[in-house]
Amino acid sequence: MKKDSLMYTVIFSFTITFIFVFILAVAHNKTTERVKKYQKISEAKAYLSASGIKLSPDESPQMKFSEIFGSDSIDKEVLTATIGNENIFVSRLSGKGLWGTIYGVMATNKDIDKIIGIEITSHSETPGLGGRIEEAWFLNQFKGEKVPDKIKIVMGVGRGDPISDNSLVDGITGATRTSESVESIINKKLMELRELKGRGEI
């Protein structure tokens, strides 16, 4: 069969595509379990971190998660727990960022007027700019932040607002839109939680 004939071209293209895609499918299959396992661990870590719980190096995130939240997986929209002598609500955050959806976790006290902490679990923001929402200095601002009404992101020095009483946090220099997205995602969730509480559902 001549190399440039139609028949050869079709058979060759089909065969080569089949072989390469088959190898990819096998590779994907063999690693699916690992990826899922990592995702579960990373989610458990996010919930614990948002709730302000520090893990010691030999503690497994999933075991600690079961211990604190009383179940192995995230089976309700709002999880409750008692840490120290404070009752808290922990729920997922999600909303539109600049380039894609931003996902995270937020823990609040049961009166929903104080944020215990937040974690960002995934986003598609610009690395080095919007992507900095996952950095410690940004997230730490939300720890223990009083929010009688809404949180507001302002232009600060860019190193983080350490005052917990003012409902203000510093945004990220050069990442205004991403910072605004995070602000509206948090405020929306606060509103939702208050509504659920008002209806007696949590």
Q: Going by DSSP bridges, is the β-strand pair 152-154/168-170 parallel, antiparallel, or unpaired?
A: parallel
Write the interaction track for other proteins spanning residues 9-48; mark x where CB under 8 A is met and - where it is not.
x--xx--xx--x--xx--xx--x--xx--x---x------
Q: What is the DSSP letter of 85?
A: T
90, β-bridge pairs: 79, 107
**Please, which residue, 38 or 198, has the CB nearer to other proteins?**
38
Which position among 70, 128, 148, 198 is part of the footprint of other proteins (CB under 8 A)? 128
Smallest gap from residue 183 Cβ to other proteins (A): 20
Q: Which amino acid is at 175?
A: A
Q: Write down the least CB distance from residue 175 to other proteins, Å.
A: 10
For the chain, the helix, strand and coil percentages under 3-state DSSP, each to the nearest 5: 45, 20, 35
174 binds other proteins (CB under 8 A): yes
Interface residue with other proteins, options 55, 78, 83, 129 (CB under 8 A) = 129
Does the footprint of other proteins cover residue 70 (CB under 8 A)? no
H-only helix segments in the chain: 6-50, 61-69, 136-140, 176-198
